[in-house]
Amino acid sequence: MSAPRLAQDQAILGQPGSRARIDTPALVLDLDAFEANLQTVMARVRAQGLALRPHAKTHKCATIARRLAAAGAVGHCVAKLSEAEALSACGITGLLVSSATPDAAKLERLAALAGRSPGLMAAVETPDQVDHLAAALDRAGHQLDLLIDVDVGTHRFGLRTPQEALAVAGRIAAHGCLRLRGVQGYAGHIQAIPGYAERRAASHACLALLGQVRDALIEAGHPCPIVSGGGTGSHDFDHEAGVLTELQLGSFIFNDVIYDSIELAPDGAKPLRCALWVQTKVVSSQHPGFATTDAGFKSFATDGPAPTIQAGAPAGARYDRFGDEFGKVVLADPTQQLPLGTLLECVVPHCDPTVNLFDQYHCVRGDRLVEIWPIEARGCTS
């Protein structure tokens, strides 16, 4: 973000009507909706008897991590080491690096981070990684807690049998600098199944393997106090399988277009509010039926659905792509023309990669811009 833009936004903080004066495009977080989502899910997870370790790959923001911890989260997952480094530098603790790496230099950095990041944990999946990580930790003089990653069906990471997990656990036990804390398994491939009942059945099938691995570890005398997994799509019923001890939800705080379009509750209710949108403005309106906005590919992730317009355009209007820097609002009435400067609120289509495009959250309450939160781990993909 350019310095003049940030200065312009900072100058209007707290002023009545300042929400409409945020420089566009901007990533806007509705604090009331964010807090309601957090309260809703936290209460539900507590009632399930589980812990919450939200996934920071979604928000990448130290301020949000602190809010989650204050609400009762036991820690934070990150997908990449560099995210852990960035959030740790902001004082965030209890970080779980949820994907393994075979990279020697990264294992050195992970070992170094273990010395300055209280409560750090990491996922592992091969005996070699365990040995290399232990060697790096011994050189650094630090210790680290580990979870064994189990492939519950996504086939992206993880072991597929209790036997493989026992081999890794045995290797962990051989190193004094390592402590096995349990297992994790993320069923990413089932999170966006539209129907509640179908998603529930799919999730329980995935969790069965995780339970078998846990049982095998315990039977062999290995510790397994943590069984981590689950996602926003499955958080309502994952506890029923009796396997997980904690949930790794990410998107629940924002509720993007993807999650808003699936049945999150069995009764058709919408337990979560859309808390995150891109505020954009009509910058050219030379034609009836459509107009050009200032938010394009560089402001919205394009891997999923289109953003939905929640405010600013007449009913039936839809957002379409219009290049890297610009969007197109297509009106239901082809004779209508939107005035220049019209403000639009477009709910983020897929929150994680959309957040990664921005440097700040512009936080609003009602008609006011009340805070600007830096996204410290934006771009931390390594």
Window 179-198: residues binding a copy of itself (CB under 8 A): 188
> What is the rounded distance in angstroms from the CA atom of residue 101 to the CA atom of residue 109?
11
Pick from 292, 331, 369, 372 the residue near a copy of itself by CB under 8 A. Answer: 292
Q: Does residue 295 interact with a copy of itself by CB under 8 A?
A: yes
Q: Which is nearer to a copy of itself, 245 or 360 (CB)?
A: 360
Q: Which two tokens stand for residue 363?
A: 């936080």
How many residues of this chain bind a copy of itself (CB under 8 A)? 79
Find the helix packing angle between 127-140 and 104-114, rounded to 10°: 50
Q: Does residue 42 interact with a copy of itself by CB under 8 A?
A: no
Q: Which stretch binds a copy of itself (CB under 8 A): 177-185, 208-216, 236-244, 350-358?
A: 350-358
- Which positions from 270 through 289 interact with a copy of itself, judged by CB under 8 A? 281-284, 286-287
- Which positions from 80 through 119 interact with a copy of itself, judged by CB under 8 A? 80-83, 85-86, 89, 99-103, 105-106, 109, 112-113
Pairing of strands 144-149, 121-124: parallel
> What is the rounded distance in angstroms from the CA atom of residue 118 to the CA atom of residue 21?
41
Burial 256-272 (b: 16+ CB within 10 A, else e): bbbbbeebbeeeeeebb
Q: Which stretch binds a copy of itself (CB under 8 A): 122-130, 176-184, 216-224, 266-274?
A: 122-130
Pick from 46, 139, 270, 298 the residue near a copy of itself by CB under 8 A. Answer: 298
Cis peptide before 25 (omega within 30 of 0): yes
Lay out the site mask for a copy of itself across 212-251 (x = CB under 8 A, - = otherwise): ----------------------------------------
Pick from 18, 19, 26, 233 the residue near a copy of itself by CB under 8 A. Answer: 26
Residue 128, number of CB atoms within 10 A of its CB: 12
- Which positions from 127 through 186 interact with a copy of itself, judged by CB under 8 A? 128, 151, 155-160
Nearest to 113 by CA among 135, 136, 129: 136
Nearest to 122 by CA among 91, 140, 98, 156: 98
Q: Which stretch binds a copy of itself (CB under 8 A): 31-39, 192-200, 240-248, 297-305?
A: 297-305
Nearest to 170 by CA among 208, 205, 206, 126: 126
Question: Least separation, in Å, of the C-beta of 63 and a copy of itself?
Answer: 18
